[in-house]
Chains A and B, each alone.
Chain A
Amino acid sequence: MKLLKNIALSDTGFVFNPGNGDSFSVNPIGLSILKDLQEGKSEDAIRNRVVEDYQTDKETIEKDLYDFLKMIEQFNLTDYHE
């Protein structure tokens, strides 16, 4: 999954999609995931990084990450062609 190229991410967690004018606020974990996606990291790499950073069980992270990725897909933040 790739984030749309023109998505603007602010360090405050403000996310702006200039393609449709939508804006969102995300917490620091969400922002770090979006930044990972913007850098082209794979879902596996993101999951491993979050597990390491937050020292919690892999199953919980996997479920939450799956939910988050589905949500940003629904919000049209991901590349349609990917």
Chain B
Amino acid sequence: MSKRKITIAVSGLNNIDSPGPGIPVIRALKDSELFEIRIIGLSYDTMEPGIYMHDLVDKTYQIPLPSAGQQSLITRLTYIHQQEKIDVLIPNFDAELFNFIKLQDMLKKMGIDTFLPTLEQFEERQKWALNTFGEKYGIKVPKSKQINSTAEIHALTHEFGYPLVVKGKFYDATVAYSPDQAMAAFNKISSKWGLPIIIQQYTPGIEVNLTGIGDGKGNLIGAVPMRKTYITDKGKAWAGIALEDETLMNIARNMLKGNKWRGGFELEMIKTDKREYYLIEINPRFPAWVYLAVGAGQNHPEALVRLALGEDVKPYESYESGKMFIRYSYDKIVDLKEFETISTLGEL
């Protein structure tokens, strides 16, 4: 069967020690048996390694930071589309999703398909709304609240006790064992990601995660649970293993029946000694370890492209547990000319 030629734009090319999902998504797409894919990288920083990984990314364009707003983003995307005729666009950063969700109808009119959660789906799983989310969909969630100043930290001793978890609104989380540590974590995280800061009750147990994709009609098209087996000092998985976990799969199925999630997502859960599951976070996009799903037999990014193109996609019925991933670092040699080109022209 001949492969269909298609052009896909992908962001999240920061394949660094705290990696974005872009490169794993691209690897998954390159493994597709249905599509022959030309990849257009969308980058925010000239040091994103994916820009220079020409075996995976055919051409990269810089795009404006999410804070620049939707108008400058659509202007830039219009230019890129004129050059490349993009068929499907897959954004991979939490912070950019709001803009892309808002622009999806405009993109569709231009001929660019996306498969994103609705704004309501995106908003109701925000960290600061997770308790309400848990109540709505019958999922246990550790008690949490948002704070906006360090003056609120003293009251946490009585309300939460220590340890507790201090989290940024998009990224970063630190376990604090004292008010001093909570204060330091507040300052560090808020200086990077802004306010509010989310305080979450510490739940002892093992962290289990699930990468999945919903079709927007209440069906779970694919899902693979994973446990991190080696964690970096930034709390990121350096190695992980696909699990057989029917309870977690059922939590995902039930959640999707309720909220009809559209697109890729990641559930981050804590499994306690009593084998209870607590939801600590939902990421509204594929995680950086999504390539493990491909290794285990489910190509979620390929399924997302098919859904974006309006195709009828049947749910995956199985995957292979026990498949592992181990990341590695690699020194990519880059000619100064390439760095100069992306820095000055904004494309490479």
Q: List chain A positions with a Cβ less than 8 A from chain B.
A: 6, 8, 16, 18-21, 80
Q: List chain B positions with a Cβ less than 8 A from chain A.
A: 206, 208, 226-227, 229, 240-241, 243-245, 271, 275, 321-322
A8 to B208, CA, bound (A): 20
| A21 with B271: CB separation less than 8 A | no
A80 to B247, CA, bound (A): 14
If A6-B244, A80-B275 touch, does A20 touch B227 (CB 8 Å cutoff)?
yes
Given contacts A18-B321, A19-B245, A20-B227, 19 further A-B contacts (CB under 8 A): A6-B244, A8-B322, A16-B322, A18-B243, A18-B244, A18-B322, A19-B243, A19-B244, A20-B206, A20-B208, A20-B243, A20-B271, A21-B226, A21-B227, A21-B229, A21-B240, A21-B241, A21-B243, A80-B275
Main secondary structure of the interface of B (DSSP, over half): strand
Nearest-neighbour CB distance to chain B for A76, whole angstroms, equals 9
CB contacts (< 8 Å) of A18 on chain B: these are: 243-244, 321-322
Enumerate 22 A-B pairs (CB-CB under 8 Å) in ascending A order.
Answer: A6-B244, A8-B322, A16-B322, A18-B243, A18-B244, A18-B321, A18-B322, A19-B243, A19-B244, A19-B245, A20-B206, A20-B208, A20-B227, A20-B243, A20-B271, A21-B226, A21-B227, A21-B229, A21-B240, A21-B241, A21-B243, A80-B275
Nearest-neighbour CB distance to chain B for A19, whole angstroms, equals 6
CB contacts (< 8 Å) of A19 on chain B: these are: 243-245
